[in-house]
Structure 1
Amino acid sequence: MLSAARHTLDIFCRVIDNLGDAGVCLRVARRMAGGFGWSVRIFIDAPEVIAPLLPPGLAHVDVLPWAAAEAPDTVPADCVIEAFGCELPAPYRGRMAARRADGEPAPRWLNLEYFSCEDWVAGSHGLPSPQADGLAKHFWIPGFRAGSAGVTVLPHAAPDRAARRAGAPLQALLFCYPYAPWAAWLAQAGQGGQTIELWVPAAGHGLHAASTGAVKVVREPLMDQARFDARLARLDFAFVRGEDSVVQAIVSGVPFIWNIYAQDDDAHQPKLAALLDWWCAGLHRDAAAVMQQVHQAWNSRRWPSAEAGVPSLWQRYLDMLPMLTEHARRVARRVRAEADLGTRLSQWVG
């Protein structure tokens, strides 16, 4: 049931990228409930996907099956988020329009898009799309550049980042799509001189990674979003996939290697290039070049073999890791100092 919070929010989500879509919606819900006292409902077509992500004791957030929104006694919220163009249930949308026809304020309705750092975002974010029933849907586009909706930033405790002991293993995450060249990377990293403790979450479907050489694989069960965030923030680097985990790595100041969700005709490549251009701004050119090369290899599904007498791509990344780490923390401080998506949404609704 909705409480007497200052505002109410309904988020609609159809799961496409497994945990990613659900994770983005849950993060928005947690931000608006915990940061602004809103009462939030998430209507989702796969509640079993989001259930393991819910932090214990989460208040003012209810997760409901999609069909619950179609019930005649479901009253639309003050603000309605249609995540990733999922289309609202017709009965629910009809009640939104009826409210307007009765002279009551219509819900603020927005379509939450996938995030992007591409130049077109500034000219599209916030634009209204008038509907035939008199309602208006606004496009809400997250991103890191000016003119976007920003990204969702949850309050966090500063991670314990004590100086790593000489010779201690690097702590890392492997969370990628099965088509990433993870096996070739693992073999190359296993032959290197740097020991790595590699966290492979249970959500890493299709990754049958096993310890090899310098790399010790640690498998852990799926954990709730708050625990995942805290664990991620303590890592030395992270292979991340989709949208939610790469944004969280950036916000946490962790060097990342992003496996972007692949689209037909390589339509995802400009989005990947735009993010790297933004993140690498101000980074030493040698480190930026390695960052670009690693991402190209990781997303082309071909990890290059080492050549005799030449440092491997992975060794060159490790050589740049101290510089990448310092830069990642600078970027995170800058992002956290800006108004995030939750703040901008609260201001927009009023």
Structure 2
Amino acid sequence: MKARWDIFCSVVDNYGDIGVTWRLARQLVVEHACDVRLWVDDLRAFERMCPQINVQREQQWQEGVDVRHWPAQWLATPSADVVIAAFACQLPPEYMEAMAACERAPLWMNLDYLSAEDWVVGCHRLPSVKFKGVQKYFFFPGFRSGTGGLLREAGLLQQRQAFQQDARAQQQFLQSLGVFPANGARLMSLFAYENAALAGWLDVLATDGRATHLLVPEGRILGDMQRWLGVDRLAAGDIHRRDGLTVQVLPFVRQEQYDRLLWCCEFNAVRGEDSFVRAQWAGRPLLWHIYRQDEDIHLDKLDAFLELYTAALSPAAKAAVVALWQAWNTEGDMAQPWKMLLAHWPEVAAHAETWCLEQGLQADLATALVQFYESWI
């Protein structure tokens, strides 16, 4: 019989939480023949990346996944064989009682946030708390051997490489989004939280000697972009030009389309967790806007990733990457770090592809979860 999986997603940061759990749910169904229920407390956020979702329905099937609205007033529901609390969300007390009432307790996992910090390897798959005899386990995605790896669908890297070698396919895809970059223009994407450093970066992009076409999916950075452009409002479809920089606002697109957008671009600025991982699978230089946390503990996570990611770079290229990422995440001056990065572009670009292929040698997150369940039973 198929293993029954329940994945609980409490939407905190609009799209990152649901982005990860939606990808995971679909992959468990398609590649591992699992029976998956995805519980989501905010279907409006889900609708942005799955437009066919009916936000009024309590239950519906989408791409083989049993999508359930996670109501404030929980109804009696049998426990699954595997229960995933994504990003440490709290399960409904009634559901926890249902887990405890099972003749055979389910495998209960806390799927934690992605981190490159050293301690993650030591904590991965360790037991956590118990609830009436039901043991919870830590499960950490990660970049090192000994972690749960990263979300990566079967054949993804081969699809990406084929797409990037097909100029016509890229052109057709961009045209489907209304994107027509000038010949020779640097194509970049920007998906970020609010950031006061944006104006300085846009200034240098507009004057760095090469035309840039910047694609900006709808999101929280648009307010800063409006101020720099001096306009009252930005919406999907808007195009503005200043000197050598063209800014184009894109509508929110499905995850598969966003992947291809990243594959088309020479450089991708991303945020949170889901787009961060997808930018790495694009094999192109990237810039991560990490989610801000109290007491700046997010900067420790940033530094841990940078130390791992830049280990194989020359000292000068490493310094350029680190300077750019730190300036972006501390709202510092972006002009000089961007010029430093451009000076080392060939090495940084080659490294992005190498890093991608090295990470692709590890088991993907969905496979690691299934393997843990099979070893647990």
With normalisation by structure 1, the TM-score equals 0.90
Query: What SS does structure 2 have at the residue aligned with 1:131?
Result: strand
Q: 1:204 to 1:246 in 2, by over 3 A?
A: same
Distance across 2 between alignment mates of 1:86 and 1:98 = 21
Count of paired positions:
335
2:65 maps to amino acid: V
Does 2:143 match 1:151? no
Aligned residues of 1:9 and 1:79 also touching (Cα < 8 A): yes
% same residue: 36
Query: What SS does structure 2 have at the residue aligned with 1:322?
Result: helix
Aligned residues of 1:80 and 1:110 also touching (Cα < 8 A): yes
In the TM superposition, structure 1's runs of 4+ consecutive aligned residues that sit over 6 Å from their partners are 163-167
Aligned to 1:220: 250
Query: What SS does structure 2 have at the residue aligned with 1:158?
Result: helix
**Displacement after TM superposition at 1:58 (Å):** 5.0
Aligned residues of 1:180 and 1:299 also touching (Cα < 8 A): no
Aligned-residue RMSD, C-alpha:
2.2
Select which of 53, 61, 76 maps to 2:49.
53
Q: Deviations over 1:257-276 (max 9, x none)?
A: 11111112211111001111
Distance across 1 between alignment mates of 2:334 and 2:74 = 52
Aligned to 2:193: 177
Distance across 2 between alignment mates of 1:78 and 1:127 = 19
Question: For residues 334-349 of structure 1, what are the structure 2 equivalents within 5 Å?
Answer: 334-349=358-373
Question: For residues 90-109 of structure 1, what are the structure 2 equivalents within 5 Å?
Answer: 90-99=93-102, 104-109=103-108
Distance across 1 between alignment mates of 2:183 and 2:41 = 47
**Displacement after TM superposition at 1:120 (Å):** 0.6
Select which of 347, 355, 358 maps to 1:323.
347
Distance across 2 between alignment mates of 1:329 and 1:55 = 32
**Displacement after TM superposition at 1:234 (Å):** 2.1
Q: 1:232 to 1:129 in 2, by over 3 A?
A: same
Distance across 1 between alignment mates of 2:73 and 2:111 = 18
With normalisation by structure 2, the TM-score equals 0.83
Distance across 2 between alignment mates of 1:204 and 1:139 = 31
Distance across 2 between alignment mates of 1:38 and 1:54 = 20
**Displacement after TM superposition at 1:87 (Å):** 0.8
Distance across 2 between alignment mates of 1:107 and 1:345 = 14
Distance across 2 between alignment mates of 1:213 and 1:152 = 39
Distance across 1 between alignment mates of 2:202 and 2:62 = 37
**Displacement after TM superposition at 1:29 (Å):** 1.1
Aligned to 1:20: 16
Query: What SS does structure 2 have at the residue aligned with 1:233?
Result: helix
Aligned to 2:177: none
Deviates more, 1:40-49 or 1:207-216: 207-216
**Displacement after TM superposition at 1:198 (Å):** 0.7
Distance across 1 between alignment mates of 2:114 and 2:353 = 21
Aligned to 2:208: 192
Question: For residues 140-289 of structure 1, what are the structure 2 equivalents within 5 Å?
Answer: 140-155=139-154, 156=156, 157-159=159-161, 160-162=163-165, 168-205=184-221, 206-209=223-226, 210=229, 211-289=241-319
Distance across 1 between alignment mates of 2:308 and 2:353 = 15
Q: Deviations over 1:196-218 (max 9, x none)?
A: 11110013453435432211111
**Displacement after TM superposition at 1:252 (Å):** 2.3
**Displacement after TM superposition at 1:163 (Å):** 9.6
2:211 maps to amino acid: T
**Displacement after TM superposition at 1:61 (Å):** 1.2
Distance across 2 between alignment mates of 1:55 and 1:11 = 20
